[in-house]
């Protein structure tokens, strides 16, 4: 197996078990959107780029309210999340022209949630052949774009969508 260095992940892995505050809540409160990779703020939800994306444009839509499952959210939060999902798909189609999307939630650790205590919706652009042979044969995960490039590519579109 080939190992690739991902130094930006060291701090998270080193301190994940010690984290007292949720990174979604921290990012939402800090108001340092570019630094925290927040693309859009709605009334009840916001969009943040996934720091460990499956593909360029991998977004997460999260509520401001710290809840572990969507059924605990109010109607306004749930409806707005779906509206933001629709807008995200529209923008990602325009910017990246993907062949399809994966969208969904992993609710609870047993379902694969990396952050089980704050539910969120993943939006992942996909292309035919984007999984390639590398994870299977090369046991290496590749992405075609740096996070800051993705942020810059999408930010203007989300900023203009507030109208």
Catalytic residue among 44, 58, 118, 120: 120
For tokens 């810059």, what's the residue?
152
| Cα gap 99→76, rounded to integer Å | 31
Q: Is 44 a catalytic residue?
A: no
Bridge partners of 125, per DSSP, are 101
| Cα gap 118→108, rounded to integer Å | 9
Starting at the edge strand that comes first in sequence, how are the strands of the sheet with 38-41 ordered?
A: 38-41, 45-49, 59-63, 121-126, 100-104
Nearest to 151 by CA among 44, 62, 33: 33
Nearest to 64 by CA among 51, 85, 86, 80: 80
* Burial class, 109, CB count within 10 angstroms (exposed 0-12 / middle 13-18 / buried 19+): exposed
Catalytic annotation, residues: 120
């Amino acid at each position: 197996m080939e190992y690739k260095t991902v130094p930006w992940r060291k701090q998270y892995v080193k301190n994940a078990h010690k984290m007292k505050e949720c990174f979604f809540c921290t990012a939402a409160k800090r108001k340092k959107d570019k630094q925290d990779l927040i693309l859009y703020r709605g009334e009840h939800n916001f969009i943040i780029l996934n720091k460990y994306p499956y593909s360029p444009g991998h977004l997460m839509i999260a509520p401001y309210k710290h809840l572990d499952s969507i059924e605990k959210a109010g109607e306004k939060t749930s409806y707005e999340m779906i509206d933001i999902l629709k807008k995200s798909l529209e923008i990602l189609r325009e910017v990246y022209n993907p062949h399809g999307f994966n969208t969904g939630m992993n609710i609870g650790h047993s379902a694969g949630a990396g952050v089980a205590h704050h539910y969120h919706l993943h939006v992942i652009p996909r292309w035919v052949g984007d999984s390639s042979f590398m994870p299977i044969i090369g046991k290496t995960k590749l992405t075609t774009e740096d996070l800051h490039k993705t942020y810059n590519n999408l930010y203007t579109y989300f900023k203009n969508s507030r109208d």
